[in-house]
Amino acid sequence: MNRAVPQVAVTPPPICTSSTLRDELSTLFTQPRFNDKGRYLSETELIQFAGDADALLVGRDRITEQVLSGLPQLKIIVKYGVGLDNIDVDALKKHQVELGWTGGVNRRSVAELTLGFMLGLCHNVFNAGGALKQGQWVKEGGKLLRGKTVGIVGCGNIGKEVVRLLKPFECKVWIRDILDMSEFCRETHSLEKSFEEVVSGADIISLHVPLTDETRLMMNATAFRRMRSTAYLINTSRGDVVDEAALKEALVKEVIAGAALDVFSQEPPEDKDLLACPRLMVTPHIGGNALEAVEAMARTAFQHLDEYFNK
């Protein structure tokens, strides 16, 4: 575009640690800058790292007014991954910085992990496997996923994909979304329900919402008390959607049967007591990180960069 050789800075560790993806981006832009810290960057680190870059490809790094003020050369932010809750879109407009992002690219990856959580929780895979590693032979096979009532809270790209994956299991699917899901419900033989109905009636509650003022801590102590004692909670969306202290208490006091978390309010999580809960399955935010999803999200981001600087 304006500069003969655009300067591109890249932060997401899945891209920066992949020789294949680094080579692919390097064929499009001369000497792109890669983050070598193995993690996402703080605001101060981001400013130092990006410097005079024309383009910044980010993942979960926070793009704030402070960051944008410190990067006056920046022309475009490209987002790798799902959701824009870490990006101040109003600040982008103020600083006249464009945004490149395509949602839903990793929906199959997250949906498959969600289905794995459902099967693992129902069939007692996680608890039984953990017990066996401790030398305990506990033959408790759980129950079938088939026929259970599954509540999908947030029915965007990922939520819809989960509903499709559930079809062979003949589950009752209840959907809660702020948008009208009537057509999708007709197509999939699902039912639209209120949040309260999903929380109090579903055997499995699976969260697929963005983090907003409305969804922050939506699964709190009140919600856990409304859940069935035999019900499970799954969160593969954003950590702050769940009140982790309330979840820990609900698990310890057996208010609910179990839970599975791929996301946390702080990552990596530091609450060892939460992680130690015996009826909690945890993974380190890997839902969207299947190899195929990583490559697809990276290449979509590269395409946004290529289109911007070569249009």
Phi/psi at 286 (nearest 5 deg)?
Answer: -110, 5
Q: How far apart are CA 232 and CA 57, in angstroms?
A: 36
Out of 108, 176, 285, 304, the active site residue is 285
Mean pLDDT of the chain: 95
Is 267 among the residues known to form the active site? yes
Contact 259, 119 (CB under 8 A): no
Residues 174 and 208 in one domain: yes
Residues 266 and 169 in one domain: yes
Q: What is the pLDDT of residue 90?
A: 94
Residues 117 and 43 in one domain: no
DSSP at 219: B
Q: How far apart are CA 224 and CA 39, in angstroms?
A: 33
Q: What is the pLDDT of residue 253?
A: 96
Q: What is the pLDDT of residue 80?
A: 94
Is 43 among the residues known to form the active site? no
Q: How far is CA 91 from CA 42, 65, 161, 165, in A?
A: 17, 6, 32, 38
Average pLDDT over residues 267-287: 95
Residues 241 and 256 in one domain: yes
Q: How far apart are CA 255 and CA 257, in angstroms?
A: 7
Q: What is the pLDDT of residue 278?
A: 84
Is 95 among the residues known to form the active site? no
Q: How many domains does the chain have?
A: 2
Contact 300, 105 (CB under 8 A): yes
Q: Does 1 map to a domain?
A: no
Out of 238, 244, 279, 304, the active site residue is 238
- CATH number of the domain encompassing residue 96: 3.40.50.720
- H runs (alpha helix) in the chain: 13-16, 19-28, 43-50, 65-69, 89-94, 107-122, 125-133, 157-165, 182-188, 195-201, 221-226, 244-252, 272-275, 291-310
Average pLDDT over residues 136-151: 96
Quote the domain boundaries for residue 232. Answer: 107-282
**pLDDT confidence bin for 2, thresholds 50/70/90:** very low
Residues 253 and 299 in one domain: no
Q: What is the pLDDT of residue 82?
A: 79
- Please tell me the pTM assigned to this model: 0.89
Out of 196, 267, 292, 307, the active site residue is 267
Q: What is the pLDDT of residue 1?
A: 43
Lowest mean pLDDT among 28-32, 113-117, 214-218, 280-284: 28-32
pLDDT tens digits, one per residue of 74-96 = 999 999 987 788 999 999 999 99
